[in-house]
């Protein structure tokens, strides 16, 4: 049974913010409904809007390579975004859009009950960990939040712009793999 079916249907017919008018597809999220590990990005880009799936464009392909590098299978994790609809020209999400959309993410976390949540990039970390989160200083650090652990890593799109950050990303991904193994 797909635990997310009803929520997905609600999300796909959502008109709670203006982004619904320009979306091709709602990008609800994808992955294993029994995943211990959840990744949360910012918002769909062009390829995600066209396909309805998160992280399938260039940034997503780079994320896949880091998952592979630490022996985590994409089929074993769950991937979602703060916003389910693409902001025009991939601009940053507006606070009002985040506020309208966050209920879907909260419900996804409630259903999934992951052991680890990884924020992909500063927008996600600022929304989910702390409004003044500094990704350059704090990436890879662990925060305990009741029933799960959280951390943030650089957004894969940032790694495309600045390949020197890839070393930090690999270190953080190894830490995520270790944490996951320790919680099994
Ligand atoms: N960037 C994101 O933050 N999310 C996606 O799904 C794709 C690119």
Phi, psi values for residue 43, rounded to 5°: -165, 155
Query: Is the CB of residue 93 below 6 angstroms from any atom belonging to ligand 1?
Result: no
What is residue 8's predicted lDDT score, i.e. its pLDDT?
A: 97
Would the pLDDT of 39 be above 90?
yes
**Residue range 135-154, pLDDT digits in tens:** 999 999 999 999 999 999 99
> Could you identify the atom of ligand 1 that is nearest to the CA of residue 53?
6
Confidence of residue 2 (pLDDT cuts 50, 70, 90): confident
The owner of tokens 């409004």 is 131
Cα 80 to ligand 1 centroid, rounded to whole Å: 8
pTM: 0.97
> Could you identify the atom of ligand 1 that is nearest to the CA of residue 59?
8
Number of H helices, E strands in the chain: 8, 6
Nearest to residue 89, comparing CAs of 8, 147, 19, 154? 19
Least confident stretch, 1-10, 33-42, 58-67, 166-175:
1-10
Cα 98 to ligand 1 centroid, rounded to whole Å: 14
Beta strands, E only, the chain: 30-31, 37-41, 78-81, 116-120, 143-145, 148-153
Query: Is the CB of residue 44 below 6 angstroms from any atom belonging to ligand 1?
Result: yes
Query: Is the CB of residue 154 below 6 angstroms from any atom belonging to ligand 1?
Result: no
Query: Is the CB of residue 41 below 6 angstroms from any atom belonging to ligand 1?
Result: yes
**Residue range 100-129, pLDDT digits in tens:** 999 999 999 999 999 999 999 999 999 999
Q: What is the mean pLDDT of the chain?
A: 97
Q: How many residues does the chain have?
A: 184
Beta strands, E only, 127-180: 143-145, 148-153
The DSSP output letter for 115 is S
Ligand 1 pocket test, pick from 24, 81, 89, 127 with the greatest ligand atom count within 8 Å of Cβ, gives 81
Nearest to residue 156, comparing CAs of 139, 140, 169? 169
The DSSP output letter for 34 is T
123 strand-pairing partners: none
Alpha helix segments (H runs only) across 2-115? 5-12, 46-51, 58-69, 95-112
């Amino acid at each position: 049974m797909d635990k997310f079916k009803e929520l997905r249907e609600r999300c796909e017919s959502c008109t709670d913010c203006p982004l619904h008018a320009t979306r091709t597809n709602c990008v609800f999220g994808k992955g294993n409904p029994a995943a211990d590990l959840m990744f949360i990005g910012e918002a769909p880009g062009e390829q995600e809007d066209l396909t309805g799936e998160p992280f399938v464009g260039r940034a997503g392909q780079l994320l896949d390579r880091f998952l592979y590098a630490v022996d985590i299978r994409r089929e074993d994790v769950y991937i979602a975004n703060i916003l389910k609809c693409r902001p025009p020209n991939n601009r940053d999400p507006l606070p009002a859009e985040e506020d309208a959309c966050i209920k879907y993410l909260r419900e996804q976390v409630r259903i999934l009950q992951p052991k680890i949540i990884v924020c992909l990039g500063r927008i996600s970390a600022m929304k989910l960990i702390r409004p003044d989160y500094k990704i350059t200083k704090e990436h890879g650090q662990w925060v305990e939040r009741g029933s799960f652990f959280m951390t943030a890593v650089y957004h894969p799109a940032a790694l495309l712009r600045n390949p020197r950050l890839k070393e930090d990303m690999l270190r953080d991904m190894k830490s995520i793999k270790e944490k996951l193994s320790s919680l099994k």
